[in-house]
């Protein structure tokens, strides 16, 4: 083939539909035109701008024994990823742009959209979670942060024009037993459909109260079958008497204290003493959730319902941090349950169809709160693949599994990592990487690379602490594919929204 740039050259012919053979093609003045009868040589077409190579590199051949060459495999360098989804930054080994699309790659590169993010504190776990959330929001996903323990997602959610609900004494309050958007449409449904949905709502309420009772703020143990039975009966009695309104925890406590005949029959007791003996502990535990450290937080009607039409939502629990882990754990369970229930209700009512991105940070605070916590959390997040949700599970150590209450909880928590087909690892110690590798095998090269980022930050000659060497560096693994080392590059706007070190800098300035 031959390119011709001569103006009006009649010799250059192009075969196109509608043009006869040998008919000159109409081209703009000075453009290149192709003669298909001419084939380029191995050096390319001659002339400037034609792609001609003056020299062809034949490459270099290396000869090695099989013993030495075997040391090159397995490679740390993974195959290139499609340029789709969320742009993260350059590949640290090839400088190629690395993108990540856990929702779009399901069925091709992935089997589910769950993402496991783990690294040491302060190297950028939340930064990469926010980048994923931010870009997916631009693609039409709704960002839902069901429990923002540190309040670090609030600036991003506000910047997206979303809603931030701040839970705390004197602030907003959520009713964990709220039925969400379904409350408005239940009266309009046929009786059979209405009763079916009401049974589903009451079932969720029972599961939440059982989970809250298992925390240290409740009984510190899993409710017995009798206690579960009486709580379920009390919820049904309260709901039936409210004529469409949502119950609150004090309503359930009131029914348990009054002890109507329906509960006596349910428990098969004949005397008041027998009844009090069976319900005393669970009643006092529910009262503690209302009058103890959680007083004023989850013991009344919702003051600010979630606006499910907003592009982003965050439930901010940062005001609870000073109240201790038990309160934060119970608060996380309550806000998770409320958020998931509101979304499911909106979908059932046809009020929302947008897919979600759900960053779940500090999840181990709630999972360590008591026996059965993992099962409660697992029930809320298990169907993310069918719902089109991208769940980001964020933590900093696999040792948190050892602190869970029971062996059953530890086994179920390990299964959460198995259901995350994508894994993003930041700076971690060799020991921590080996614990991950026991469940999701890593190569020696991958362990060596990621552990090299975990060195502590050094101090400069002027006495200032330098940036942590692992900040912004991640190993992205999809299934069993070799990992891709990527360096996250933040924009100026992202640096402002993602800055989680402001409090530390203020503290240093005051000192």
Q: Which of 315, 149, 285 is nearest to 210 (CA)?
A: 285
- What does pLDDT average to in each consecutive run of 10 residues of the chain (511 residues)? 40 38 43 58 71 72 74 58 92 91 91 90 88 94 91 92 90 85 76 81 82 79 87 88 83 91 87 90 88 80 89 91 78 83 79 87 72 68 64 84 74 78 93 90 91 72 64 91 90 78 44 40
CA distance 92 to 94: 6
Per-residue DSSP letters for 161-188?
T-EEEEBSTTSB---TT--TTHHHHGGG
Residue 329 Cα distances to 137, 215, 362, 417, angstroms: 28, 8, 10, 21
pLDDT of 465 reads 54
Q: Which of 488, 392, 498 is nearest to 159 (CA)?
A: 498
In angstroms, how far is CA 286 from the centroid of its own chain? Answer: 31
Token readout for 409 is 């909880």
Domains and CATH numbers, the chain: 1-54 (no CATH), 86-141+355-510 (3.40.50.300), 162-312+326-341 (no CATH)
pLDDT of 25 reads 42
425 bridge partner residues:
118, 475
pLDDT of 64 reads 79
pLDDT of 168 reads 85
Are the C-beta atoms of 511 and 139 separated by less than 8 Å?
no
Are the C-beta atoms of 86 and 135 separated by less than 8 Å?
yes
CA distance 178 to 147: 17
State the sign of the Cα–Cα–Cα–Cα dihedral 484, 487, 490, 496: positive
- What is the biggest distance separating any 2 CA atoms in the chain, rounded to whole angstroms? 110
pLDDT of 138 reads 92
Per-residue DSSP letters for 360-427?
E-SHHHHHTSSTTHHHHHHHHHTTHHHHT-EEEEEES-GGGGGGSSSHHHHHHHHHHHHT--EEEE-S
406 phi, psi to nearest 5 deg? -130, 165
Token readout for 3 is 């390119």
pLDDT of 330 reads 81
Which string of b and e fits 185-218 if b means at least 16 CB within 10 Å?
Answer: ebeeeeeeeeeebbebbbebbbbbbbbbbbbbbb
Token readout for 423 is 């894994």
CA distance 215 to 441: 34
Element (H, E) at 143: strand 142-148
Q: What is the dihedral of CA 446, 449, 455, 461, to 10 degrees?
A: -170
pLDDT of 28 reads 45
Place of tokens 């776990």: 125
Is-cis flag, bond preceding 74, omega within 30?
A: yes
Helix boundaries (H) for 97-143:
125-138
Are the C-beta atoms of 74 and 445 separated by less than 8 Å?
yes
CA distance 171 to 297: 9
């Amino acid at each position: 083939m031959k390119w011709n740039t001569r103006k009006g050259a009649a010799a250059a012919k192009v075969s196109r539909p509608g043009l006869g053979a040998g008919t000159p093609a109409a081209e703009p003045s000075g453009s290149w035109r192709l003669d298909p009868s001419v084939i380029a040589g191995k050096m390319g077409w001659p002339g400037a701008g034609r792609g001609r190579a003056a020299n062809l590199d034949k490459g270099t051949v290396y000869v090695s024994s099989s013993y030495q060459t075997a040391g090159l495999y397995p490679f740390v360098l993974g195959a290139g990823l499609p340029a789709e989804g969320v742009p993260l930054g350059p590949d640290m080994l090839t400088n190629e742009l690395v993108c990540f699309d856990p929702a779009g790659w399901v069925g091709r590169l992935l089997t589910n959209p769950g993402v496991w993010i783990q690294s040491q504190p302060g190297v950028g776990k939340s930064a990469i979670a926010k980048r994923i959330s931010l870009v997916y929001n631009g693609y039409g996903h709704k960002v839902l942060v069901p429990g923002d323990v540190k309040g670090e997602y609030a600036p991003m959610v506000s910047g997206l024009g979303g809603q931030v609900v701040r839970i705390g004494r004197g602030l907003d309050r959520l009713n964990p037993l709220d039925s969400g958007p379904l409350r408005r449409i239940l009266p309009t449904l046929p009786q059979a459909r209405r009763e079916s949905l009401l049974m589903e709502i009451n079932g969720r309420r029972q599961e939440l109260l059982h989970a809250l009772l298992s925390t240290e703020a409740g009984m510190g143990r899993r409710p017995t079958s009798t206690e579960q039975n009486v709580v379920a009966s009390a919820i049904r009695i309260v709901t039936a008497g409210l004529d469409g309104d949502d119950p609150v925890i004090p309503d359930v406590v009131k029914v348990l204290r009054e002890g109507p005949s329906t509960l006596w029959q349910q428990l098969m007791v004949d005397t008041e003493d027998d009844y009090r003996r069976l319900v005393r502990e669970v009643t006092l535990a529910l009262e503690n959730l209302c009058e103890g450290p959680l007083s004023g937080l989850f013991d009344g009607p919702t003051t600010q319902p979630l606006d499910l039409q907003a592009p982003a939502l965050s439930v901010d629990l940062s005001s609870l941090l000073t109240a201790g882990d038990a309160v934060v754990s119970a608060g996380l369970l309550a806000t998770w349950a409320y958020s998931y229930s509101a979304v499911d209700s909106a979908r059932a009512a046809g009020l929302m169809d947008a897919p979600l991105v759900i960053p779940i940070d500090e999840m181990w605070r709630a999972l360590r709160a008591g026996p059965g916590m993992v099962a409660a959390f697992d029930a809320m997040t298990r169907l993310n693949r069918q719902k089109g949700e991208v769940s980001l599970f964020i933590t900093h150590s696999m040792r948190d599994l050892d602190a869970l209450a029971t062996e059953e909880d530890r086994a179920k928590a390990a299964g959460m990592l198995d259901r995350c087909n994508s894994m993003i690892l930041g700076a971690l110690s060799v020991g921590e990487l080996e614990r991950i590798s026991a469940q999701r095998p890593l190569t020696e090269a991958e362990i060596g690379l990621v552990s090299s980022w975990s060195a502590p930050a050094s101090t400069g000659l002027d006495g200032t602490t330098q940036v942590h060497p692992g900040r912004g560096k991640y190993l992205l693994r999809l299934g069993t594919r070799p990992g891709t080392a990527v360096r996250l590059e933040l924009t100026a706007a992202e640096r402002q929204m993602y800055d989680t070190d402001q409090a530390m800098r203020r503290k240093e300035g005051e000192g």
